[in-house]
Structure 1
Amino acid sequence: MLRREERIGLGLAVLLLCLCGGSPGTVPTVLAEEPTVELNSPEVVRQVLEQQVGKRVKVKLLSGQDLDGKVAKVGTQAVVLSELGGMEFFDATLRLDQVAAVVVKSRTK
């Protein structure tokens, strides 16, 4: 028969396991999947920008101008970049049909 201190310790261990969601072997592992983009879609630029909302990107326009900033909103016809590089107090609204390329930081060293 277990002593009182051993029963309390065992009960505490069971309680902790229940609170933690079971034994360590049963905790599911969640792997982050990178969202995929349909490259043949006519809306590929919009899809890429939607995945980058809240992150910094560099946008190359058909005119040759580069803008970098944080993607604030993406609509069907336009995108809003906030905190523009070198002009942090300004936002820009760009027509999606004028975007030639979206440059995204995808990894670090």
Structure 2
Amino acid sequence: MKAIALIALMTTLATAAVSADDKVGFKKEDVAGTVLQRQVGQKVEIRLKSGEKISGKVEAVGGEALHLSSITGQEFYDAVVILDDISAIVIRTDRK
């Protein structure tokens, strides 16, 4: 009986982890920094107010800036993006 309960619990936790990982998890009080904070370690595409796109791995998010590494097309470069210059954050959610 304990084994069945343990398996059910593990299955539920695994399903919840996968479901949470597949979604952006947007909350109505979110700002660019909080959305990006949840993406640390993940690849994102940032669209700037100027229209430029930059994508890479989120390394860290500060109060006013974002550190991206492994910039797509410029893998040996990092970037620091001012959060106020961001107009959109594109996050891949189909982690198959």
Same-fold call, TM cutoff 0.5: yes
**Equivalents in 1 of 2:50, 2:38: separation in Å?**
24
Q: Which residue of 2 aligns with 1:36?
A: 25
**Equivalents in 1 of 2:56, 2:94: separation in Å?**
18
Sequence identity, in percent? 35
Q: In the TM superposition, what is the alpha-carbon distance from 1:108 to its structure 2 partner?
A: 5.3
Q: Which residue of 2 aligns with 1:49?
A: 36
> What stretches of structure 1 of length at least 5 have no aligned partner?
1-21
1:82 counterpart = 2:74:
no
1:69 counterpart = 2:56:
yes
**Equivalents in 2 of 1:108, 1:45: separation in Å?**
22
Q: In the TM superposition, what is the alpha-carbon distance from 1:37 to its structure 2 partner?
A: 2.6
**Partner amino acid, structure 2, of 1:25:** I
> What stretches of structure 2 of length at least 5 have no aligned partner?
none
Which gives a bigger RCO, structure 1 or 2 (Cα 8 Å, sep 6+)? 2
TM-score, with length taken from structure 1: 0.70
Q: How many residues align?
A: 86
Q: In the TM superposition, what is the alpha-carbon distance from 1:36 to its structure 2 partner?
A: 3.1
Q: Which residue of 2 aligns with 1:97?
A: 84
TM-score, with length taken from structure 2: 0.79
Report which stretch shifted further, 59-68 or 23-32. 23-32
Q: Which residue of 2 aligns with 1:17?
A: none
Tell me, yes or no, if the aligned pair for 1:37 and 1:44 is still in contact at 8 Å: no
**Equivalents in 2 of 1:77, 1:108: separation in Å?**
29
Q: Secondary structure at the match of 2:32?
A: helix
